[in-house]
Amino acid sequence: MKQAPVLNPDLALSEIRMPEGLLLLDGKLSGASPSARRIDVLNPATGEFITTIPACTAADVDHAVMAAHRCFESQAWRSMRPLDRGRLLERLALLIEEHAEELAQLESLDSGKLLSVTRMIDIPFAIEALRYFAGWSSKISGEYIALSPLVQDGASYRAYTERKPMGVVGGITPWNFPLGQAIQKLAPAIACGCTVVLKPSEETSLTTLRLGELILEAGFPAGAVNIVTGYGHDAGAALVEHPLVRKISFTGSTATGQRIWAAAAPTMKRVTLELGGKSPTIILADADLSRAVPGAAAAIFSNSGQICTAGSRLLIEAAVYEEVIAGVADIARTLKLGSGADPQAQIGPLISARQREQVAGLVRSSLDEGAVALAGGDMIGEAGWFYQPTVLTEVSREMPVMREEVFGPVVCALRIEESSQLVDLANDTPYGLAASIWTRDLERAHLLADRIDAGTVWLNTHNVLDLAVPFGGRKLSGVGREFGSEAIQAYTEPKAVCMRLDRGAMVGY
Ligand code: NAD
The strand pairing partners of 456, in sequence order, are 434
Catalytic one of 107, 203, 274, 405: 274
Query: What is the C-alpha separation between 342 and 91, in angstroms, rounded?
Result: 32
Q: Is ligand 1 within 6 A of the CB of residue 232?
A: yes
pLDDT at position 434 is 98
The percentage of the chain sitting over the pLDDT mark of 90, rounded to a whole number, equals 92
Give how far Cα 406 sits from Cα of 196, 276, 364, 401, 423, Å. Answer: 31, 10, 12, 7, 22
Query: pLDDT (tens digit, 9 = 90+) per residue, 195-209?
Result: 999 999 999 999 999
Closest ligand 1 atom to Cα of 252: 30
Q: Is ligand 1 within 6 A of the CB of residue 234?
A: no
Closest CA to 212 of 386, 53, 51, 407: 53
Range with the poorest average pLDDT among 1-15, 85-99, 164-178 = 1-15
pLDDT at position 1 is 44
Up-side HSE of residue 237: CA atoms within 13 Å toward CB?
Answer: 11
Closest ligand 1 atom to Cα of 199: 9
Q: Is ligand 1 within 6 A of the CB of residue 41?
A: no
For residue 253, the CA-to-ligand 1 centroid distance in Å is: 4
Closest ligand 1 atom to Cα of 478: 41
Query: Which class for 18: exposed (0-12), middle (13-18), buried (19 or more C-beta within 10 A)?
Result: middle
Closest CA to 337 of 12, 109, 114, 47: 114
Q: Is ligand 1 within 6 A of the CB of residue 236?
A: yes
**How would DSSP label each residue in 16-35?**
SPPP---EEETTEEEPPPTT
For residue 74, the CA-to-ligand 1 centroid distance in Å is: 32
Mutate to test the pocket of ligand 1, among 113, 197, 256, 261 (most ligand atoms within 8 A of CB): 256
pLDDT at position 9 is 47
Mean pLDDT across 379-392: 94
pLDDT at position 19 is 84
Apex CA 24: angle with CA 18 and CA 30, to 5°? 80
Q: Is ligand 1 within 6 A of the CB of residue 252?
A: yes
Range with the poorest average pLDDT among 8-17, 98-107, 159-168 = 8-17
Query: pLDDT (tens digit, 9 = 90+) per residue, 416-426?
Result: 999 999 999 99
Give how far Cα 120 sits from Cα of 117, 124, 463, Å. Answer: 5, 6, 15
Closest ligand 1 atom to Cα of 237: 19
Q: Is ligand 1 within 6 A of the CB of residue 354?
A: no
pLDDT at position 46 is 95
Q: Is ligand 1 within 6 A of the CB of residue 198?
A: no
- The answer to whether the CB of 328 falls within 8 A of the CB of 386 is no
Q: Is ligand 1 within 6 A of the CB of residue 168?
A: no
pLDDT at position 481 is 98
Query: pLDDT (tens digit, 9 = 90+) per residue, 209-268?
Result: 999 999 999 999 999 999 999 999 999 999 999 999 999 999 999 999 999 999 999 999
Query: Which class for 502: exposed (0-12), middle (13-18), buried (19 or more C-beta within 10 A)?
Result: exposed
| Average pLDDT score, the chain | 95
Q: Residue 168: pLDDT band by 50, 70, 90 thresholds?
A: very high
- The answer to whether the CB of 134 falls within 8 A of the CB of 188 is no
pLDDT at position 343 is 93
Mean pLDDT across 393-406: 97
Up-side HSE of residue 16: CA atoms within 13 Å toward CB?
Answer: 26
To the query of whether residue 48 is one of the catalytic residues in this protein, the response is no
Mutate to test the pocket of ligand 1, among 184, 197, 201 (most ligand atoms within 8 A of CB): 201
Is the pLDDT reported for residue 296 higher than 90? yes
Query: What is the C-alpha separation between 258 and 198, in angstroms, rounded?
Result: 19
How far, in whole angstroms, is CA 502 from its chain's centroid? Answer: 52
How far, in whole angstroms, is CA 482 from its chain's centroid? Answer: 9
Mean pLDDT across 73-91: 98
| C-alpha radius of gyration, the chain, whole number | 25
Q: Could you tell me the sign of the dihedral formed by the alpha carbons of 442, 447, 448, 452, in that order? A: positive
Is the pLDDT reported for residue 148 higher than 90? no
Query: What is the C-alpha separation between 381 and 20, in angstroms, rounded?
Result: 32
Is the pLDDT reported for residue 151 higher than 90? no
Is the pLDDT reported for residue 7 higher than 80? no
pTM to 2 decimal places: 0.96
